């Protein structure tokens, strides 16, 4: 059993790997881990790779070695136990042995265990680079380039934004250290000539001159809409980019500029409006400061709301604000009132079709909900510091509230949607037994937040989770590298109860911090690409699985016959 | 040598220079508006203005450059493939022309009166570029290394190294610093460490090109218009250490810990700081002497500060940084209206000022003077404390620490700074010294309105330019800044009585070391001296000094 929690890649070295609970029993006899580091693509030896091992129960006790010219590496003098194994080399990002997502196969050493014929197939990193140019064939510097990656994450097939870079003065961008996946590229920005009137705003008495000025300004008041490779405004029509291991793929994009729209938004309760007093704060004893609303515009990209850069270009004393920096189109708009980046005044979400000159009065959309509640642990008011989290599907941010004296309140209001309720912070040994809610529907831990609701949660938690230790067997023989899944009843509403692992070199695994309940354990060979969060996907494997009842504080030992991914 | 001086409100930036130029052109707006509104049409002819944008070095035409006009008209046009541009129906009056194009500097704004049949040539200066690679001494490229670019900028009349840009190396260790003006630059990389758990820590301290530990021993990179210079770094790893300790005192969320070198520069190593327990940890610190500094960034009046000097030769823990309240100095402003018949519109009013911007609407009382305290030996910008008014118009220098400061006062409108004193010390010629006990007397600023004026003409001008009046034999006043138009007429704001040497430059004064007498010596032959009595106007005739490269 080994669970990779963290891969730290520094300028010179990989550092891995931690695990849950597995004894490393000292013994008089010492053991060895040895093998070869090979390029996963070519099969050629990788010389000079940094190879590290660490006991899974003692993360800081790290040993290092450099692979030889033939890729060979050796660690001598080891005690019986399990060791996380990782490697790194220039052009090969830090990775655990046979790593999948955040899991890797640990090496078990001891009597009768073969730990000396390891073949570490190091996956070389790929990359995407390209040039962003305008319709006039000029390089576009300063454009925002977003990288989206497709794959299975937590059992769900998703395409999500991974990182953002900015093009240089030549219009070049580069994404390095990419794994063998499918990717999408999207670019947006503003032309270099777009912001030529930042300071002066002169009203001319001559209508001819004023009209000419307006017309000429419109020629340079342009934006580059969010454009997906190879040149479409629709994410559905974006072309995936496959990055083979070790290869640099070129993806050049030509952007077509569009008119920059200016929209005026009136928001009750903002400075200058009739309800301005709702929004005023006194930040210090000298100055009275009131804050404008924080308005964000989003596009739905691959099922997730993606922020489209915009700017408040004009403020007014009448509570009406002008925003610009985006092309016409459909947006999800959110508005928060409050002090700067702390939108304590509540939020509003509204679907809007924007075009130049449109005036919007915020209202009629959905309002974020206020969420508060109480947390009891083992029937007592929680005195420990804990964090209650709400994680929503397709919502770009998670929400968190700190528990104090058993009570919590989310500072940020929560947009409508479905959220999974969870505990975090110092509450590792605590688990949620029951959640009840007023002002919202809840099934299991899935909370349905509706517009403008005032939701009170009552979370009953307990301490003492269980643990499952086991071995994955293939026709009676231990099998390394299988995906182990602990499946709760009603997985659709209890996804946070799922535990996973990857079987180690001796076929063993550990599933820690199991919330008491009824589960089945399955082991799937080559199952890492299964979207297991969909109950239908796991159903074919559950028929052969045994049902276990797991109680708090107990350890269950199981044997699981490996099934092959269908 | 003057330690303290007054300053006229002028920021030496391209923006201000541009705005001044535009303001000159706008002087014509009321005139034209009146003429246009006269009924029968403007007496000023409308013409078709044509021109060309070229590379100042090669003379080559620049296609698809943006040509902008500001002032009487706000117009834009792109050049065609031959670099030509056209503006129809343009008034033949002084207008601000400038052009833009990526790869060229935006330093070409100029006031031109377009005439029919005359082609305008706008020259764009190509920008310079520094490229390079950062690698270890065994040739391994270093990715994500922080590059900092320092350029020379005139601050308070003297050249100082100022941060001009930054970059980060890519996966091949390469970096680019584009869009640079000609001049001297220092380039630094780091610091960073490759400290990993369980590994003996090594790292790379801040290194200045080519391989110097500090600014003083660095070699500046000299670049000219359109040049590309390569600056590569080969870094040798050194042992680095971890420094840990506790901040003791009233902790709040706004506190931050920085580590500074002996010159006061932030070393750039991040500090992990627990604002609840006060514990801090800084990793990757090379050998050396440093100051650990804790500051509160809260706008509250009870700001705290603390600092401890340490010498690092090994990892160390148990360092204690006590917090102390910062010092608050009241500034009393007194205005002496000694002018016999001051026009009402020129009177400074302590009115309520409301500003509305991106970060909200602020309301405060205008005190009539801006004041700042600059640590002696500092560059005048980064560590300055600004006087902050309260709603009653009282000014305070807040968040001050023991030390020595230059006090700089900027009056507004038709006043000059007559005196600045604290406990009998003339702060126009002596520093303000705050003792370790924090005891300091209030600062008294006296403003007077018996100002003088300079009128004059600049000979040999082809376009607008900048003026400087340097106080002569009087170190209690600071230089005054003005400008002249295309017709050579001078404009200065009201200034303090006294004797001045006046200089006229063909370009902005951003790069003129006006506070350095040696730097001004070469221009003395074209300066004019004028003595101004209270309420009087002096006249000068100047020859233009050409400094444009």
Least confident of A150-159, A260-269, B264-273: A260-269
Would the CA dihedral through B387, B389, B395, B397 be positive or negative?
negative
Q: Is residue B223 part of a domain?
A: yes
Among A209, A213, A295, A322, most B C-beta atoms within 10 A, so best to mutate, is A209
Would the CA dihedral through B532, B536, B541, B544 be positive or negative?
positive
Burial bucket for residue A556 (CB in 10 Å: 0-12, 13-18, 19+):
middle
Asked if residue A4 has pLDDT above 80, the reply is no
Element (H, E) at B35: helix B29-36
Do B306 and B409 lie in a common domain? no
Asked whether the beta carbons of residue A212 and residue B75 sit closer than 8 angstroms, the reply is: yes
Number of structural domains, chain B? 5
Q: Is residue B40 part of a domain?
A: no
A381 to chain B nearest CA, in Å? Answer: 24
Q: Is residue B21 part of a domain?
A: no
Is residue A556 within 8 A of residue A469, CB to CB? The reply is yes
A213 to chain B nearest CA, in Å? Answer: 6
Closest CA to B69 of A220, A257, A135: A220
Each of the 549 residues of chain B gets a pLDDT tens digit; together they read 333 333 333 333 444 444 444 454 444 444 444 444 433 345 778 899 999 999 999 999 999 999 999 887 788 999 999 999 999 988 899 898 999 999 999 877 888 999 999 999 999 999 999 999 999 998 989 998 999 999 988 887 888 888 899 999 999 999 999 999 999 999 999 888 765 444 557 888 899 999 998 888 999 999 999 999 999 999 998 999 999 999 998 887 778 899 988 777 788 888 999 888 899 999 889 888 999 999 877 665 568 888 899 999 999 999 999 998 888 899 998 888 876 554 443 333 344 443 333 333 444 455 678 888 888 866 555 667 888 777 666 788 888 888 889 898 888 777 888 899 999 999 988 899 998 788 889 999 998 888 999 999 999 887 788 999 998 876 667 788 899 988 899 999 888 899 999 999 987 777 788 888 888 888 999 999 999 999 899 999 999 998 764
Asked whether the beta carbons of residue B360 and residue A290 sit closer than 8 angstroms, the reply is: yes
Least confident of A84-88, A213-217, B377-381: B377-381
For the residues A211-226, what does the mean pLDDT come to? Answer: 86
A256 and chain B: CB distance < 8 Å anywhere?
no
Asked whether the beta carbons of residue A62 and residue B178 sit closer than 8 angstroms, the reply is: no
Asked whether the beta carbons of residue A220 and residue B15 sit closer than 8 angstroms, the reply is: no
Q: Is residue B8 part of a domain?
A: no
Quick one: closest CA in A to B355, which residue? A289
For the residues A380-406, what does the mean pLDDT come to? Answer: 79
Asked whether the beta carbons of residue B66 and residue A177 sit closer than 8 angstroms, the reply is: no
Burial bucket for residue A314 (CB in 10 Å: 0-12, 13-18, 19+):
middle
Do B82 and B166 lie in a common domain? no
Asked whether the beta carbons of residue B66 and residue A193 sit closer than 8 angstroms, the reply is: yes
Record the tokens describing residue A280, joined without a space: 């005023």
Among B191, B196, B366, most A C-beta atoms within 10 A, so best to mutate, is B196
Do B468 and B485 lie in a common domain? yes
Asked whether the beta carbons of residue B66 and residue A271 sit closer than 8 angstroms, the reply is: no
Asked if residue A284 has pLDDT above 60, the reply is no
CATH code for the domain in which residue B155 is found: 2.60.40.1120
A9 and chain B: CB distance < 8 Å anywhere?
no
Asked whether the beta carbons of residue B357 and residue A217 sit closer than 8 angstroms, the reply is: no
In whole angstroms, give the CA distance from residue B299 to residue A287: 10
Helix or strand or coil: residue B36? helix
Cβ contacts of A204 on chain B, cutoff 8 Å: 33, 73
pLDDT, residue A364, reads 63
Domains of chain A listed by start with CATH number:
8-122 (2.60.40.1120), 126-258 (2.60.40.1120), 262-367 (2.60.40.1120), 370-463 (2.60.40), 466-564 (2.60.40.10)
Is residue A543 within 8 A of residue A505, CB to CB? The reply is no
Asked whether the beta carbons of residue B33 and residue A127 sit closer than 8 angstroms, the reply is: no
pLDDT, residue B250, reads 84
Asked whether the beta carbons of residue B171 and residue A176 sit closer than 8 angstroms, the reply is: yes
Least confident of A18-27, A309-318, B189-198: A18-27
pLDDT, residue A135, reads 93
In whole angstroms, give the CA distance from residue A375 to residue A410: 13
For the residues A5-20, what does the mean pLDDT come to? Answer: 34
> What does each C-alpha distance from B420 to A216, B302, B423, B426 come to in angstroms?
51, 26, 10, 6
pLDDT, residue A425, reads 62
Q: Which residues contact residue B194 at a Cβ distance below 8 angstroms, ignoring those fewer than 6 apart?
A: A10, A11, A12, A13, B201, B202, B203, B237
Domain boundary among B97, B124, B151: B124
Cβ contacts of B301 on chain A, cutoff 8 Å: 284-285
Do B247 and B299 lie in a common domain? yes
Q: What is the DSSP string of A309-352?
A: P-EEEE--TTSEEEEEEE-SEEEEEEEE-SBTTB-TT-EEEEEE
Do B444 and B344 lie in a common domain? yes
Q: Is residue B175 part of a domain?
A: yes
Do B83 and B134 lie in a common domain? no
B466 to chain A nearest CA, in Å? Answer: 21
A389 to chain B nearest CA, in Å? Answer: 22
When comparing pLDDT for A306 and A270, which is higher?
Answer: A306
pLDDT, residue A342, reads 40
Mean pLDDT of chain A: 83
Global pTM?
A: 0.79
Q: Which of A:77-96 have CB within 8 Å of B?
A: 90
Domain range enclosing B507: 451-545
Do B184 and B233 lie in a common domain? yes
Digit-coded pLDDT (tens) for A24-58: 444 457 999 999 999 999 999 999 999 999 999 87
């Amino acid at each position: 059993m080994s669970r990779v929690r963290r891969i730290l890649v520094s300028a010179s070295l990989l550092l891995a790997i931690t695990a849950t609970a597995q004894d490393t029993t000292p013994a008089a006899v010492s053991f060895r881990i040895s093998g070869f580091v090979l390029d996963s693509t070519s099969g050629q030896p990788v010389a000079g790779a940094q190879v590290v091992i660490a006991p899974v129960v003692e993360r800081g006790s790290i040993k290092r070695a450099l692979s030889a010219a033939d890729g060979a590496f050796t660690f001598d003098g080891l005690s019986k136990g399990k060791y996380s194994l990782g490697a790194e080399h220039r052009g090969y990002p830090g990775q655990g042995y046979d790593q999948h997502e955040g899991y890797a196969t640990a090496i078990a050493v001891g009597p009768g265990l073969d730990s000396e014929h390891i073949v570490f197939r190091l996956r070389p990193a790929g990359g995407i680079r390209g040039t962003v140019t305008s319709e006039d064939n000029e390089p576009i510097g300063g454009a925002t380039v977003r990288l989206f990656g497709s794959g299975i994450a937590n059992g769900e097939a998703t395409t999500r934004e991974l990182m953002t870079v900015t093009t240089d003065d030549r219009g070049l961008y580069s994404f390095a250290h990419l794994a063998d996946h499918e990717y999408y590229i999207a670019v947006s920005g503003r032309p270099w000539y777009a912001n030529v009137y930042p300071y002066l705003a002169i009203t001319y008495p001559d209508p001819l001159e004023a009209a000419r000025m307006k017309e000429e300004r419109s020629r340079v008041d342009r934006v580059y809409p969010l454009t997906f490779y190879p040149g479409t405004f629709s994410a559905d029509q974006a072309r995936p980019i496959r990055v083979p291991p070790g290869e640099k793929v070129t993806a050049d994009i030509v952007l077509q500029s569009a008119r920059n729209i200016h929209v005026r938004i009136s928001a009750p309760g903002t400075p200058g409006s009739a309800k301005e007093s709702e929004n005023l704060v006194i930040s210090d004893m000298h100055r009275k400061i009131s804050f404008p609303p924080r308005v964000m515009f989003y596009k739905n990209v691959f099922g997730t709301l993606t922020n489209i850069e915009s700017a408040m270009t004009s403020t007014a004393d009448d509570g009406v604000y002008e925003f610009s920096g985006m092309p016409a189109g459909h947006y999800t708009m959110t508005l928060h009132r409050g002090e700067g980046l702390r939108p304590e005044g509540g939020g509003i979400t509204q679907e809007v079709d924007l075009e130049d000159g449109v005036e919007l009065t915020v209202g009629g959309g959905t309002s974020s909900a206020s969420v508060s509640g109480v947390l009891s642990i083992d029937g007592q008011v929680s005195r420990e510091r804990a964090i209650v989290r709400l994680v929503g599907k397709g919502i770009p941010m998670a929400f968190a509230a700190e528990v104090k004296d058993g009570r919590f309140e989310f500072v940020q209001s929560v947009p409508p949607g479905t959220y999974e309720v969870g505990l975090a912070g110092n509450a590792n040994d605590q688990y949620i037994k029951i959640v009840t809610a007023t002002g919202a529907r809840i099934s299991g831990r899935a909370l349905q937040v509706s517009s403008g609701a005032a939701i009170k949660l009552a979370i009953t938690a307990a301490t003492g989770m269980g643990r499952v230790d086991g071995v994955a067997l293939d026709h009676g023989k231990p099998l390394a590298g299988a995906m182990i899944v602990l499946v709760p009843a009603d997985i659709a509403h209890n996804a946070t109860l799922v535990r996973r692992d990857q079987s180690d070199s001796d076929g063993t695994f550990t599933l820690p911090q199991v919330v008491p309940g009824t589960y089945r354990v399955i082991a799937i060979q080559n199952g890492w690409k299964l979207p297991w969060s969909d109950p239908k996907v796991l159903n074919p494997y559950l028929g052969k699985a045994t049902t276990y009842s797991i109680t708090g504080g107990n350890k269950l030992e199981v044997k699981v016959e490996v099934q092959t991914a269908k | 040598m003057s330690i303290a001086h007054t300053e006229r409100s002028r920021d030496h930036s391209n923006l201000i220079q541009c705005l001044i130029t535009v303001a000159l052109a706008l002087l014509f707006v009321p005139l034209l508006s009146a003429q246009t509104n006269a009924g029968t049409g403007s007496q000023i002819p409308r013409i078709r203005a044509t021109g060309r944008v070229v590379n100042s070095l090669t003379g080559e035409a620049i296609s698809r450059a943006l040509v902008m006009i500001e002032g009487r008209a706000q117009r834009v046009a792109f050049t065609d493939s031959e670099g030509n541009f056209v503006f129809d129906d343009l008034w033949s009056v002084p207008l601000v022309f400038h052009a833009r194009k990526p790869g060229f500097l935006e330093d070409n704004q100029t006031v031109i009166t377009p005439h029919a049949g005359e082609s305008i040539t706008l020259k764009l200066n190509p920008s310079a570029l520094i490229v390079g690679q950062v690698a270890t001494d065994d040739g391994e490229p270093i990715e994500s290394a922080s590059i900092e670019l320092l350029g020379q900028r005139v601050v308070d009349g003297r050249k100082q190294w100022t941060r001009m840009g930054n970059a980060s190396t890519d996966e091949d260790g390469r970096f680019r610093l584009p869009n640079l003006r000609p001049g001297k630059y220092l380039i630094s990389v780091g610091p960073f460490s490759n400290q990993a758990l369980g590994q003996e820590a090594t790292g790379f301290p801040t290194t200045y090109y080519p391989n110097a530990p500090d600014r003083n021993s660095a070699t500046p990179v000299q670049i000219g218009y359109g040049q590309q210079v390569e600056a590569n770094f080969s870094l040798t790893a050194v042992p680095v250490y971890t420094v840990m300790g506790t901040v003791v005192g009233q902790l709040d969320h706004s506190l931050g810990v920085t580590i500074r070198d002996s010159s006061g520069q932030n070393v750039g190593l991040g500090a992990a700081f627990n604002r609840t327990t006060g514990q801090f940890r800084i990793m990757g610190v090379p050998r050396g002497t440093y100051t650990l500094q804790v500051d509160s960034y809260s706008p509250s009046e009870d700001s705290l500060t603390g600092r401890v000097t340490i010498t690092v030769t090994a990892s160390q823990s148990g360092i204690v940084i006590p917090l102390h309240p910062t010092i608050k100095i009241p500034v009393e402003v007194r205005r002496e209206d000694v002018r016999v018949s001051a026009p009402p519109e020129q009177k400074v009013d302590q009115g309520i000022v409301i500003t509305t911007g991106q970060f909200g609407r602020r309301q405060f009382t205008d005190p009539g003077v801006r004041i700042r305290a600059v640590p002696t030996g500092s560059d005048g910008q980064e560590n300055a404390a600004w006087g902050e008014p309260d709603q009653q118009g009282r000014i305070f220098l807040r968040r001050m620490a023991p030390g020595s400061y230059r006090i700089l006062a900027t009056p507004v409108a038709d006043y000059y700074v007559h005196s600045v004193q604290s406990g009998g010390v003339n702060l126009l010629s002596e520093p303000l010294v705050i003792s370790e006990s924090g005891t300091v007397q209030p600062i008294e600023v006296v403003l007077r309105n018996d100002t003088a004026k300079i009128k004059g003409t600049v000979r040999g001008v082809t376009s607008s330019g900048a003026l400087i009046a340097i106080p002569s034999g009087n170190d209690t006043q600071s230089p005054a800044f003005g400008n002249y138009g295309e017709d050579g007429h001078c404009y200065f704001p009201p200034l303090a009585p006294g004797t001045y040497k006046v200089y006229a430059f063909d370009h902005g004064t951003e790069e003129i070391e006006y506070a350095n007498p040696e730097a001004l010596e070469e221009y003395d032959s074209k300066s004019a001296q004028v003595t101004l009595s209270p309420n009087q106007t002096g006249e000068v005739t100047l020859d233009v000094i050409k400094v444009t490269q």
